[in-house]
Amino acid sequence: MTGVNLLPTPDVAIADADVADALSRAVRIIGPLLDVLWGTDPLQVKRRSGRGDGDSGPVHKVADGIGRALNAAEVPGTRAWDELDTDARIHWWVRRIGALNTVAVAFPGFLGVLANRLPIQDLLGFTNQAVILCAVARELGVTDHDQQVRLLAAVLCGRDLSAAPGSRVSDPMSDPMPDIPRNPAGIAKAVWKLVGLLNAISEELAKRPHPRAPFRYLSMLPVVGAVAAYFGEIGALQRAAGKGRKWIAGNLGQRALQA
């Protein structure tokens, strides 16, 4: 769903090159962002067994408690994460990180039908799906920058950027990977920049997988619309992840496991 234009504007078709450029820059932020989510462990507690390991001091007990909590949540980098298969890891990204991000995506639904006049929900939803799709790709072994760009273009924009086999969709040296600080402020800044980059292709945002019709209608109601929007966006995110796996299997010759 797109917002209603308050002023008439000419229709301008966005070229594949423009979409590729915006998505390429987005992937260059998403990659390091996922690295931060994966690798951040300032207290070195992810690999703790939670059994004390011979240390019984108060500091070690606190560290063990944090380690147990992280393992219970199967956070990437923990021993529990090591035991997960590909299906479980993809499910984690969709149901844990994706579900958390969806809170922000669904929040405009609090305004009910007024939210349909604002483009913010599509923008946030598109951003959330882009991040999770890149995480899914990585779990399936797809780490190549161009392949991830083509994946996002196909699933979220319905565009095929692989018309010229072997050609690159971007110049990897024109926009280097950012160095994202491993703290909440650094992560928030990176996400905000990502949202700004994707807003440059605003006409493409409405092409992403959307909540199904019942959730869309319920989201028009004030207050409760946020709840309906949340569950609708969760379903849309799951479908986007499923489409991503099918695209990878069909275009990159990799086996797509059932989501």
What is the distance between the alpha carbons of residues 35 and 39, in angstroms, rounded to a whole number?
Answer: 6
Measuring CA to CA, which residue among 58, 57, 64 is closest to residue 43? 64
Residue 186 pLDDT: 81
Same domain membership, residue 144 and residue 28: yes
Same domain membership, residue 33 and residue 133: yes
What is the distance between the alpha carbons of residues 129 and 98, in angstroms, rounded to a whole number?
Answer: 8
Asked whether the beta carbons of 122 and 204 are under 8 A apart, the reply is no
Q: What is the mean pLDDT of each run of 10 residues along the chain (259 residues)?
A: 45 79 93 81 62 58 71 76 88 79 54 52 85 93 94 94 60 67 79 85 84 64 65 86 93 57
Residue 48 pLDDT: 66
Q: Give me the residue label for tokens 């991830």.
A: 148
Asked whether the beta carbons of 206 and 122 are under 8 A apart, the reply is yes
**Domain-terminating residue out of 56, 76, 96:** 76
The domain tally of the chain equals 2
Which domain does 172 fall in, by range?
16-41+85-252
Residue 12 pLDDT: 57
